Amino acid sequence: MASWIGLDDLVDNPTSRVAISLCLDASGSMSGAPIQELNSGVAAFYQAINQDEIAKYSAEISIVTFGPVQKETDFQTVATQSRPPVLHATGDTPLGEAVKLSLDLLDERKQAYKDNGIDYYQPWLVLMTDGQPTGSAPVLDAQVARVQQLAADRKLVVFPIGIGASADMTTLNRFSAPRPAFKLQGLNFQSFFSWLSASVSRVSQSTPGDGVPIDVDGIKSWSDFKF
C-alpha cells in the first residue's frame, strides 16, 4: 500500500485539506520553560492529529519560527510527517517578516491544491508571540492588512495569541480586529494545542466551504478571552 500512496501526496491523496500555519515566536526571550512548553505542546498537537484517522490525512501543518525567520517545515500531512521539528529559542522578534513567510507559503500551498484539484477548507494561521515586534514597521503593516483582507474574505482563520505579560497585545489585536487577540493562560500550550487538534478534527469531518465550526466554549480551557 505504501507504494501506491507514494511520495506525491498531492496526487494520490484526494482528502480535502485543512492547511494550518503555525507562526511561532522562538526568540531569545522564549528560552527556558516557555520554549520547552511550546515544544511539548506542538508535539502533543501532532500526536493528537495522528490519532485521528481523517485529520491525519487532511491536516497539513507548516511551522515558521522567529528569531531569525525560519521555515521549520513546509505543509505536510501528519501521515507523511508524524513528528514536529524541535524548536530552539534565539534572536529577535521579527513578527511581520515571519507572518509574511507564513502567508507566502500558504499561498503556494493553496496554488498547489488548485493545480492538483484538491478541495481545501479555510486555512488557519496561528500566531504566537511573547514580546514586541522588532522587524520593519512597513512590513508589519503590510502583513496586518493582508491578514485582515484574507479574514474578511473568509479565506483565513486567524488566531493571534499572546504569551506572558510582555506580549504586545496591541499588535496582536490588529491581526484579529475587530475582535481582540487571545491571551494564553500562563504557559498552557498543552490546552491550547489540544483544543486546536480537536477543532482541526472537527473541521476535517465537515464540508469544505461550510465555514469553520469553532468550539467557543473550549477556548476557556486555555484563554481568559470572552466573546
Q: Would you tell me which residues interact with other proteins (CB under 8 A)?
A: 1-6, 11-15, 53-54, 57, 79, 114-119, 205, 207-209, 213
CB of 44 to other proteins, least distance (A): 22
Number of Cβ within 10 Å of residue 152's Cβ equals 9
In DSSP terms, 77 is beta-bridged to 60
Smallest CA-to-CA distance from 126 within 94, 150, 162 is with 162
Smallest CA-to-CA distance from 68 within 104, 97, 35 is with 97
* Closest to other proteins by CB, 19 or 23: 19
CB of 202 to other proteins, least distance (A): 10
CB of 3 to other proteins, least distance (A): 5
Is residue 214 exposed (0-12), middle (13-18) or buried (19+ Cβ within 10 Å)? middle
Smallest CA-to-CA distance from 130 within 225, 28, 45, 20 is with 28
* Closest to other proteins by CB, 123 or 160: 123
Is residue 25 exposed (0-12), middle (13-18) or buried (19+ Cβ within 10 Å)? buried
CB of 57 to other proteins, least distance (A): 6
CB of 1 to other proteins, least distance (A): 5
